[in-house]
């Protein structure tokens, strides 16, 4: 008899059963290549959902960030402001162009980019662009950030890789940037197994993205190239999966918000635990449910993660801030508060399993283990 425990992953993909029909349609049509009718339709359907006019389906969110920066005109030596608390791909895309990142701290109400810290950076540097990351399903404070960037005539690239389905002021995340990007990696709220998208209300930007993503081939009978391009387009089969997944997106958001509420209702009595706040006038997709253990050190957090791992439950720390990453040592970092908030969130934060297919039994197991570990360390 196999007594091995069932694994509980942080954010596994959830299939709705429609994917196989869409994939079969792609196969039957013989579009087994980059581009095709499902790519076109996925772009249109996602643009409609987000509330943007145009979209380009790409091979990853990182590819979308790279193209967004290039299209905005970022060149070697330029400064690009970006969120300090983010996944490294945000900054890697800046370095691909030999530009200089400048990190901006988080703020309390959303854990996203701090407008006051952003203002400090603008007083010292002229930025070619700014990348704002929407963390863990939640929008940044675009009321304040957009006003600041407007004053300094600096375009916003919205990194909505983690926040598809979230809202702010009755607008979808992914609709606040001059260019916005999405990710459909396997752990995102919907997935194409791997993929991303670039969106904009500027048609010229999206036309440029599609050309650059297809090796920058010119409109000629032969293969003509006058600039360097990339192999960044999404395949028709992956787009077919995305179209099927998109049908369930709102359902998955409801499930993840319910999971967050289940954690909250069953852990709110523990004084040591605080939960990621929801920004005023916002609605997080709660892609991940995230807590802070305010009396625990990072070493304590690591030990708790090890206990979960022994039970085959995947948890992880909050993103390690970019200013603490060895690869970016010495990069300018602006923080309005005396102690950087991003550092504090990293040292005390824990991401809990949040997949939309979690059962109440799964959640109860996670909650019970967490309670035991908190009590044993007090």
91 three-class SS: helix
As its CATH architecture, domain 249-376 has: Alpha-Beta Complex (3.90)
Residue 338 near residue 120 (C-beta atoms within 8 A)? no
pLDDT at res. 135: 98
Whether pLDDT at 377 is above 80: no
Residues in a beta bridge with 101: 80
- Residue count (the chain): 378
pLDDT at res. 4: 78
Mean pLDDT of 355-374: 96
pLDDT at res. 221: 86
Q: From CA 66, how far away is CA 93, in angstroms rounded? A: 5
Question: What residue ranges in the chain does DSSP mark as E strands?
Answer: 54-58, 79-83, 100-104, 127-133, 156-159, 167-168, 171-172, 179-183, 196-200, 273-275, 282-283, 289-293, 333-334, 349-352
pLDDT at res. 1: 43
Q: How many CB atoms lie within 10 A of CB 73?
A: 11
Nearest alpha-carbon partner for 253 in 280, 290, 284, 281? 284
Cβ-based neighbours of 53, under 8 Å, separated by 6 or more: 47, 200, 201, 203
State how beta strands 79-83 and 100-104 pair.
parallel
CATH level 3 topology of 19-246: 3.40.640
Q: What percent of the chain clears pLDDT 90, i.e. is strictly above it?
A: 92
Whether pLDDT at 32 is above 90: no
Q: Which helix (H) or strand (E) holds 342?
A: helix 341-348
pLDDT in tens, 135-171: 999 999 999 999 999 999 999 999 999 999 999 999 9
pLDDT in tens, 208-237: 999 999 998 888 889 989 899 999 999 999
Comparing 217 with 77, the larger pLDDT belongs to 77
Q: Which helix (H) or strand (E) holds 348?
A: helix 341-348
Mean pLDDT of 192-208: 97
pLDDT at res. 297: 87
For the chain, the domains span: 19-246, 249-376
Confidence band for 3, pLDDT divided at 50, 70 and 90: low
Average pLDDT of the chain to the nearest whole number: 96
Nearest alpha-carbon partner for 177 in 71, 256, 287, 293? 71
pLDDT at res. 378: 59
Nearest alpha-carbon partner for 166 in 144, 186, 148, 182? 182
pLDDT at res. 33: 78
Whether pLDDT at 82 is above 50: yes
Task: Please give the DSSP secondary-structure letter assigned to residue 4.
Answer: P
pLDDT in tens, 102-138: 999 999 999 999 999 999 999 999 999 999 999 999 9
State how beta strands 167-168 and 156-159 pair.
unpaired
Mean pLDDT of 4-17: 94
pLDDT in tens, 13-30: 999 999 999 999 999 999
């Amino acid at each position: 008899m196999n007594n091995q425990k069932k694994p509980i992953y942080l954010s596994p993909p959830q299939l709705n059963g429609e994917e196989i029909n869409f994939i079969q349609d792609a196969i039957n049509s013989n579009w087994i290549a980059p581009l095709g009718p499902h790519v076109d339709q996925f772009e249109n359907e996602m643009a409609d959902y987000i509330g943007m006019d145009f979209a380009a389906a790409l091979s990853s969110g990182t590819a979308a960030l790279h193209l967004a920066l290039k299209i905005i005109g970022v060149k070697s030596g330029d400064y690009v402001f970006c969120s300090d608390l983010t996944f490294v791909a945000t900054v890697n895309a800046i370095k691909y162009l030999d530009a200089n990142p400048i990190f901006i701290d988080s703020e309390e109400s959303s854990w996203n980019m701090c407008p006051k810290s952003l203002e400090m950076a603008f007083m010292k540097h002229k930025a070619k662009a700014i990348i704002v990351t929407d963390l863990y399903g939640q929008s940044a404070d675009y009321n304040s950030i957009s006003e600041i960037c407007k004053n300094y005539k600096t375009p916003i690239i919205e990194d909505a890789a983690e926040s598809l389905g979230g809202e702010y002021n009755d607008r979808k995340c992914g609709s606040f940037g001059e260019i916005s990007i999405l990710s459909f990696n396997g752990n995102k709220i919907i997935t194409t197994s791997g993929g991303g998208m670039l969106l904009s209300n500027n048609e010229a930007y999206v036309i440029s993205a599609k050309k650059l993503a297809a090796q920058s081939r010119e409109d000629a009978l032969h293969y003509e190239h006058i600039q360097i391009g990339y192999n960044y387009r999404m395949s028709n089969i992956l787009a077919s999966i995305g179209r099927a997944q998109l049908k369930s997106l709102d359902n998955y958001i409801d499930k993840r918000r319910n999971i967050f509420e289940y954690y909250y209702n069953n852990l709110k009595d523990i004084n040591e635990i605080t939960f990621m706040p929801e920004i005023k006038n916002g609605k997080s997709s709660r892609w991940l449910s995230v807590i802070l253990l305010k009396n625990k050190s990072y070493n304590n957090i690591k030990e708790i993660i090890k206990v979960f791992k022994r039970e085959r439950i995947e948890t992880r720390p909050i993103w390690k801030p970019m200013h603490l990453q060895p690869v970016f040592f010495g990069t300018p970092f602006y923080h309005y508060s005396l102690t950087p908030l991003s550092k504090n969130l990293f040292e005390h934060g824990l991401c809990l399993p949040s997949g939309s297919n979690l059962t109440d039994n799964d959640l109860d197991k996670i909650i019970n283990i967490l309670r035991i570990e908190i009590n044993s360390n007090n």
